[in-house]
Amino acid sequence: MGALEIDGSFTCGASLVRDRWALTAAHCVEAGPDGAPREPTSVRFGVTRLSDSGGERVAVRRIKIHESYRTPQDSSNDVALLELVRAPAPPAAPIRVVTATERALWSPGTVATTIGWGGRSFPALFGGSDDLLQVDVPIRSDPECANAYRGTLGWDPETMLCAGSGTGGRDSCQGDSGGPLMVFPAGEPVLVGTVSFGLGCGFPGLYGVYGRIGQPALAEWIVRNAGPVPAPAPPAADPAPAPRTVLGLRRASRRGRVLKLALVVRSPVRRLTLSVERRRGSSTRRIARTTRTRVSSNRTIRLRVPASGPRRPLRIRVRAKDASGRTVGFDRLLRTTG
Buried/exposed 151-168: b ≥16 CB within 10 Å, e otherwise:
eebebbeebbbbbbbeee
| CA–CA dist 288, 14 (Å, integer) | 79
Among 4, 195, 213, 287, binds ligand 4AZ (CB under 6 A): 195
Size of the residue set binding ligand 4AZ (CB under 6 A): 11
Asked if 41 is part of the footprint of ligand 4AZ (rule: CB under 6 A), the reply reads no
Single out the residue of 184, 200, 173, 191 nearest to residue 79, CA to CA: 191
Among 55, 171, 191, 269, binds ligand 4AZ (CB under 6 A): 171
| CA–CA dist 198, 180 (Å, integer) | 15
Residue of 42, 129, 165, 177 marked active site = 177
Show contacts with ligand 4AZ in window 124-163 (CB under 6 A).
none
The verdict on whether 78 is a catalytic residue reads: yes
Asked if 172 is part of the footprint of ligand 4AZ (rule: CB under 6 A), the reply reads yes
Cβ atoms 98, 20 nearer than 8 A: no
> Three-state SS for 1?
coil
Residue of 75, 76, 78, 129 marked active site = 78
Asked if 73 is part of the footprint of ligand 4AZ (rule: CB under 6 A), the reply reads no
Asked if 14 is part of the footprint of ligand 4AZ (rule: CB under 6 A), the reply reads no
- The least CB distance from residue 173 to ligand 4AZ, in Å, is 5
What does the per-residue mask of binding to ligand 4AZ show for 226-255, with x meaning CB under 6 A?
A: ------------------------------
* Angle at the Cα of 209 from the Cα atoms of 178 and 78, rounded to 5 degrees: 50
Give strand pairing partners of 5: 10, 42
The verdict on whether 27 is a catalytic residue reads: yes
The verdict on whether 177 is a catalytic residue reads: yes
* Active centre residues (catalytic): 27, 78, 177
